[in-house]
Structure 1
């Protein structure tokens, strides 16, 4: 089978294997021990991997397959890649690979560019509907009377703003940045470094690296936008301004420029009625309202499609009734629908639960919280609530080992024996709450974070996180004390 693939087909085959196993670029990169940006470039066909790298990533994908929940057949033309053999399935692509990796080495600028490919993939994998929102945005971008400026997409948490912007990025391949409070990606510094580096790389601007002052204010960003706009229209997409750090008095959120050069547009999103610091010369707003008939129609179509493909897992349900109930109880919120459909398909909810489904996303969180607590109140108090609430306090994704340390500190603060807290017990909580968490990386370095800011809001406002912040601080101080003690001379 050697030589079956040509260079132009190599990326297609790699993507087929990746999609077959339901993997992400981040998982492949971590398992293969290579840079995630390199993996993305290889799978997009921008660079050709050398034989050594090809062997690493294909074997990594096959290795990860044991943990993947695959229900899709591998296309016939790629089925032989799963054959066992003396050299492994990567052999089929050997002659399509180069002797060495092609493409220039990663420049200093690449170190500033954040990888959001996994997020974009996840949000656009089954993208449907939302034509009315995208048409409104595209209409503004193509309006000759709107030569430059900001398009602001507004809507409540969970209504689908991030998904809309991810689809816009997928279609345009534009410069982009996501503010994610649960990952600690919310500073002006992170935004400016990421977007400035992307602008230089994408538009071939004459800068080898970012100057030290690039992330100090919006001056260098404005300069780059002007340089790029001389030759090309420029589109920059920025998600979740409401999750960004509070701006200094008198400045825009993330130091966004008040005036944009002709041909430059920003599309940004924020919560509805959020106190947004965005004082700009030209701005258009797109409102994604929960009671908009077009939004309700999108939710109806989405629920109907999921139920249509639910197979035997919907035995005992009346699909027509289920669609009506979900659409009504969702109050126009896509996140609500996502959680309920997942619980139905997983068997957590039964047909008898349909008539008692809560109204709206916040009530759904409250109902699920109470349901989990009712199963074993003592275990919930000592393990589940601390684990989830401590994850909600984290400013970035953290390992199970770190969470275990925090839970022990929480136990000590409550007069409980912290030595009873074991990491496997924390991981069991993570497994039980997996639909509310995101995972990054793999193996011992797997890191966890709260999936969505709306759930973090619920925990902060209704459960309370003050005591858990104290436990995190106490754990950090204890580490400092140990370090100082061990560093003293005997």
Structure 2
């Protein structure tokens, strides 16, 4: 009976956040250790139905159990509103596909919510440290309203953010006559509808990619917040003098810098957990990775340790290097010869693709067209600008597929550079070789193509 009471109290409603062990301790007036013991026994009983409870180390099991119970048993009487906008479904699903660790981030954020009536919580980290994946994981588990600023898709302006968030809040909270409301008004209306124990968390990724006129707060975020309203934000470190988030005195603000030495141990642990997942669990790459390890007479521990060190705690490095190993791109190298860090990986791949041996080739032209256009464009348009056969462009796109994002826009398959880190790498190439003829040619061809199209 005590286990049933504890579980029912923790998961009082499918629409409400679960109570944590501190809240349960206060509710039942028992020690936190007793609550943890009860929850442990509850997880053990449910593990037969939901095996991931056994595989998940540390906190977060209650959220997993809540999600699985809702998926399996909950039949809402009202039509279910889509948990997140259709425009972000693909990025959320892609980011959580191989998600590992980062529990220390979620726990710190939960503590911030517990300690403050409202506020802004920002995750800061260099490119490739997994900030977008953290937001995607939180949104997927909590079905929070969200917005992903995406520079390479030009989805990074305040008016687009407000339009998306307004629609999400209106649909979720049934807010009449709010089609033209600004964000502070919307937040006030939502706050008035929240019942005891409820809260609104809006997750926004990549503030550093926002484009807007100077002088205004980032995305026009409000300087004050109603109670029970929180923002979960991410960004790269700002340079001196860059635009920052401004809030009124008394509004709680906290930053968690993933690059801080306090979190080095957690980052390294999560990186190793990701590598272990790839070599032991991932159905797509594990067998080929294990074969690469075994043919070099390596131990799993040695492989995990050395790849983790080479990654420099960068998940984007692992996202590229581990599949490359599995596909045989590094069959001619030993473990110690793998590239060190993400930028060296990009450079080594650039060389391996023959980009420096044959400058000005079609591959380079296609990449620089994507860089200069900076919005999703179809293969036909790339071929038209490059003045080559569409089939030849398609072959190039296939060779660089892991660096490109492919999406269906109005029935047409379009391409953009996948990640800001690779975009930065290409920009670096352009800046180092800005006098090269290829850049003038690419921009001239783009201008000619657009001029013909407008004629």
Is residue 201 of structure 2 the alignment partner of residue 235 of structure 1? yes
Structure 1 Cα separation of the partners of residues 377 and 368 of structure 2: 13
Partners of 1:181 and 1:172 lie apart in 2 by 25
Which among 386, 389, 399 is matched to residue 378 of structure 2?
399
Q: Distance in 1 between matches of 2:403 and 2:74?
A: 34
Matched, 1:134 2:106: yes
Q: Residues of 2 paired with 1:384 and 1:284: CA distance?
A: 44
Aligned to 1:438: 405
Distance 1:140 1:444 in 2: 44
1:181 aligns with 2:181: no
Of 243, 249, 265 in structure 1, the residue corresponding to residue 230 of structure 2 is: 265
**What SS is found at the alignment partner of 1:156?**
coil
- SS of 1:446's partner is strand
Q: Distance in 1 between matches of 2:369 and 2:279?
A: 35
Change over 3 Å in CA distance of 1:424–1:170 after alignment to 2: same
Q: Give the Cα separation in 1 of the matches to 2:360 and 2:76.
A: 51
Matched with 1:336 is: 317
| 1:477 to 2:451 alignment | yes
State the TM-score, normalizing by the size of structure 2: 0.72
Name the CA distance, whole Å, in 1 between partners of 2:187 and 2:427. Answer: 38
**Residue 172 (structure 2) pairs with residue 210 (structure 1):** no
Cα distance between partner residues in 2 of 1:190 and 1:471: 30
- Indicate if the aligned counterparts of 1:113 and 1:198 stay in contact, CA closer than 8 A: yes
Q: What are the equivalent positions in structure 2 for 1:8-87 lying under 5 Å apart?
A: none
SS of 1:127 mapped into structure 2: coil
User: In the TM superposition, what are the counterparts of 1:157-176 in structure 2 within 5 Å?
Assistant: 157-176=127-146
Contact 2:288 2:327 in 1 (8 A): no
- State the Cα RMSD in Å: 2.9
Match of 1:249 in 2: 214
Tell me which of 420, 440, 449 is aligned to 2:416: 449
User: 1:308 Cα shift?
Assistant: 2.2
Name the counterpart of 2:365.
386
Change (3 A) 1:369 1:148: same
Given that 1:113 and 1:193 are in contact with CA atoms closer than 8 Å, whether structure 2 keeps it comes out as: no
**Bigger Cα displacement from structure 2, 305-314 vs 385-394:** 305-314
1:226 aligns with 2:188: yes
Return 5+ residue gaps in structure 1 as ranges: 1-43, 49-101, 215-219, 409-420, 484-490
Alpha-carbon distance in structure 2 between the residues aligned to 1:398 and 1:339: 24
2:279 touches 2:289 (CA, 8 Å); kept in 1? no
Helix, strand or coil for the counterpart of 1:352? coil
Distance, in Å, in 1 between the alignment partners of 2:149 and 2:110 is 22
8 Å CA contact 2:135, 2:205 repeated in 1? yes
Check whether the contact 1:252–1:277 (CA below 8 A) recurs between aligned residues: yes
Structure 2 residue runs without a partner (length 5+): 1-72
Q: How far does residue 197 in structure 1 lie from its aligned partner after superposition? A: 1.2
Cα separation, 1, equivalents of 2:395 and 2:76 = 41
Kindly provide the CA deviation profile for residues 38-86 of structure 1, in whole angstroms up to 9, marking residues without a partner as x. Answer: xxxxxx99999xxxxxxxxxxxxxxxxxxxxxxxxxxxxxxxxxxxxxx
Counterpart CA distance in 2 for 1:161 and 1:461 is 23
For 1:141 and 1:354, the matched residues in 2 are separated by: 44
**Cα distance change, pair 472–139 in 1 and its aligned pair in 2 (3 A):** farther
List per-residue Cα deviations over 1:16-54 (Å, max 9, x = no partner): xxxxxxxxxxxxxxxxxxxxxxxxxxxx99999xxxxxx
1:301 equivalenced with 2:273 (yes/no): yes
CA contact (8 A) 1:290 1:331 kept: no
Q: Deviations over 1:234-282 (max 9, x none)?
A: 211100011110x323211111111111221111100023424311133
Whole-angstrom distance in 1 between the partners of 2:327 and 2:420: 23
- Rounded to whole Å, the distance in 1 between the matches of 2:390 and 2:374 is 21
Identify if the C-alpha distance between structure 1 residues 46 and 431 changes in structure 2 by more than 3 Å, giving closer, same or farther: farther
Aligned partners of 1:103, 1:294: CA distance in 2, in Å?
41
Report the count of equivalent residues: 357
Q: Deviations over 1:267-315 (max 9, x none)?
A: 1100023424311133111111276111011101111221224224532
CA drift of 1:122 comes to 1.2
Superposed displacement of residue 103, structure 1? 6.3
Moved beyond 4 Å, runs of 4+: 44-48
Inter-partner Cα distance in structure 1 for 2:260 and 2:421: 15
Corresponding residue for residue 31 of structure 1: none
Contact 2:204 2:234 in 1 (8 A): yes
Bigger shift: residues 427-436 or 458-467: 458-467
Shift of 1:113: 5.5
Q: Which residue of 2 aligns with 1:117?
A: 89
Q: Is the 8 A contact 1:158 1:333 kept in 2?
A: yes
Matched with 2:39 is none
Check 1:363–1:264 CA distance in 2 against 1; reply closer, same or farther (3 A cut).
Answer: same
